[in-house]
Amino acid sequence: MEFLNEYQKKLFPYAYNILGSVDDALDAVQDVMSKFEAIAQKGFQNEIGYLIRSVVNTAINIKQRNQRLRHGVWLPEPISTDRADKNIEREEIIGYSMMVLLEHLNPKERAVFILKETFDYAHEEIADVLSITVNNSRKLLSRAKSTLQTHNLQRSPTEYSFNNSIDLQEYIDIIKVGDVKALESKLNKDIVLIADGGKNVSVVRQFTSGIENVIKLITHLYDTYHKNYSYKTGIVNHQSAILFYQRQLLVNCQVFEVNGDQITGIYSIVDPAKLKKLAATFPG
C-alpha cells in the first residue's frame, strides 16, 4: 500500500539518527509497521504521530541494548545522501560528524536532542513522544548539549553537513607523490583519525590525533593498502568521502570533516557489515 511506503520513508530517519545502523533502523521501522498494520483497522486520530512515537521508543530500546554489548571504537554506519534510495528522506539524515558526536549521549538524551535540533519539535511534543514531562525534556536537552560542549564540538546537527569544500582528488594526488608540506596545509593541527573494523577486521590504530601522527598513518595506509586499490569520491551523510575498492569490493569508506579549508577529522570505516549497503549505492 502506497501510504505504508510513505510512512516507512518518513520513519526511517528517526530510527537511523538514533541508532546509527541501517539494518537496526529498518528492523525498528518494520517492527512498528507490522504492529501498526495489525491494529490499523481500529482507527487513529493521528496515525503518523503514533508511528513516530512508536519508532522513536523502539529505537531507544534497541540502542540501549546495543550500547551494553559494544566495546571499543564504534562508528555509525555510513549512508549515501547523494545517491540514496528513493525511499529515504535524505534531508533528514544527520551529518556524519554529528552522528559520531551523538555516540557520547545516552539513548534518551540523543532522542531528545535529535527531535529538538533535527526535527524542530517543541518540548511539549517531545514530552508526548517519550512519555516524560516537559521539564524533563528540557533537562535532557540541556544535559545533551553540555556533554557535546565538553567535547568542544557543540553544533547543530546540520552545521557540518554541507561543508564539502575540500578537493579530495587534490588530497589523494598529494598523498600519491608524498608531498608532506602540501598535506600539512590540508590538515588541521588537531586533526583526529578514527577507524572502525568491527569484529572481523583489524585496523592499524583505532584512534590517532595530531597532524604529525595522522600524516604518518595516512602515508602508511597508502603505501601498504590504498595504492593498490581503486577509489571513488562521493557524499556520505552529507559529507565528502573517499571509497576504496579491492577488486571491485568496497573495503574502506573514509568520511571527511572539514572546517573552512582544512580537514579536522577522518572517519575510516572498514567493517564489512557497515559497508555492505553503501556498496549497493556505490558499486565498484
Could you tell me the fold of the domain covering 168-281? Nuclear Transport Factor 2; Chain: A, (3.10.450)
CATH 3.10.450.50 residue ranges in the chain?
168-281
By C-alpha distance, which of 260, 238, 272 is closest to 97?
238
Q: Please, is 37 exposed, middle or buried when counting C-beta atoms within 10 Å of its C-beta (0-12, 13-18, 19+)?
A: exposed
pLDDT tens digits for the chain (284 residues)? 566 788 889 999 999 999 999 999 999 999 999 988 877 666 677 889 999 999 999 999 999 999 888 877 899 999 999 875 676 778 899 999 999 999 999 999 999 999 999 999 999 999 999 999 999 999 999 999 999 888 865 455 445 445 566 899 999 999 999 999 999 999 999 999 999 999 888 898 999 999 999 999 999 999 999 999 999 999 999 999 999 999 999 999 999 999 888 999 999 999 999 999 999 988 87
State the CB neighbour count (10 A cutoff) for residue 283: 9
CATH 1.20.140.160 residue ranges in the chain?
2-150
Return d(Cα 11, Cα 5) in angstroms, integer: 10
- How confident is the model at residue 151, as a pLDDT? 80
Return d(Cα 211, Cα 227) in angstroms, integer: 21
H helices of 132-197, in order, are 134-150, 168-177, 180-186
- How confident is the model at residue 230, as a pLDDT? 97
Global pTM? 0.93
- How confident is the model at residue 200, as a pLDDT? 85
- How confident is the model at residue 158, as a pLDDT? 43
Q: Which CATH architecture has domain 2-150?
A: Up-down Bundle (1.20)
- How confident is the model at residue 85, as a pLDDT? 67
Q: Which amino acid is at 29?
A: V
User: Cell triple for residue 245?
Assistant: 575498492
